[in-house]
Amino acid sequence: MKNPLLKIQDYGQSIWLDYIDRDMLDSGEVKQLIEQDGLRGVTVNPSILNKAISGSDKYDEDVHTLASKELSAAEIYESLAIEDVQRAADLFRPLYDASEGDHGFVSLEVSPLIAYDTAATIEEAKRFWRKLDRPNVMIKVPATREGLAAIEQLTAQGVNVNVTLLFGLPRYRAVADAYQKGLETRADRGEPIDSINSVASFFLSRIDVLVDPLLEDMMSGEGEKAEVAERLHGQIAVASARMAYQIYTQIYAAERFQSISEKGARTQRLLWASTSTKNPDYSDVKYVEALIGPDTVNTAPPETLDAFRDHGNPARRIDENVAQAREFMNLLGEVGIEINEVTAQLEKEGVEKFSKAYDQLLELLEKMRAEAPARTPDTASTD
């Protein structure tokens, strides 16, 4: 029987791993996932690196070496993250080359502390891009209002952007517009656009985590509203994603994109993020199975990847029940839940959660850094 993770590729979807650490890089696990499971990319953020560094002693030596050079905790984080992403990108480079730049990407996120600062986001993204120095990396930029201008300018400067913390459909349209503007600016300058890649990362399970309790309150009542709430329960994230895919197909079939497609422009693929199931009553592969389709990416944590390998049922489902998805999104408003308010709250909470994880990571590194002077000279530096 064919590995379900490999079979996903038959429907035009790529699987990325939403995790990386040095244990996986050193042991050959990442290489094995590429060869046996068809893994096509990796994403990294401060939460992941916090977990990686706190859960492994593989970083200790480098932290103390960097600390001995009087680097700050933020500079140590940046150095560790860049090394991990470079190593991962090198493992994916054969896939990137063989697919002519379609697959094999590794993403690194700018600091969430600058999510509302366009200029700082651009500056940090460009610095990461230069330091990483790999064609198959992406810089993650949040889809805040301030992030939109950064997405446009970075794309125009030839930086591959992974747009993160994207929740709402109107904001998705704005993200796609920013990407196209960046490509158009670059093309107007006579610069190549055929090697630029981008994804728009739509966060899913968090939508249901916020909306479901509101619907459950209504379901405890009686009458038509309770019945509608029961129909919508657990359905909004998938419905929203399916509507996003409809928008995607419309945008990239339109004349505007076709005019730059002739110059080699690639579509900004939709990436399904936050795909681990939070509600134990739902299938543990709910946010993978429901959204398989062409020109999409699903970035899953190791547990979800293992679950799908074990019992996933791959089939093209991204454009199933589109009319129902549209109906569900309309009904949500009719029962008094404004999806735009929901997605605005999720964006705010997403930035706050990532910022908290980033702060915790810096606190951990500062603690490790403080221990550096106690180390003996022969182990404090290994230049």
Establish whether 140 is a catalytic residue.
yes
Tokens 């706190």, located at residue:
54
Q: DSSP character for 192?
A: -
Within 13 Å of residue 236, how many CA atoms lie on the same side as its CB? 31
Q: How many CB atoms lie within 10 A of CB 74?
A: 15
- The Cα–Cα gap between 32 and 345 comes to 39
Tokens 């390998």, located at residue:
309
- The Cα–Cα gap between 122 and 244 comes to 26
Which is catalytic among the residues 31, 126, 140, 356? 140
* Amino acid found at 316: R
Q: How many CB atoms lie within 10 A of CB 21?
A: 21
Question: What DSSP string runs through 131-158?
Answer: HH--TTEEEEEE-SHHHHHHHHHHHHTT
Task: Name the residue among 67, 143, 153 with its Cα closest to residue 112.
Answer: 143
Sign of CA dihedral 90, 95, 101, 104: negative
Give the catalytic positions in this structure: 140
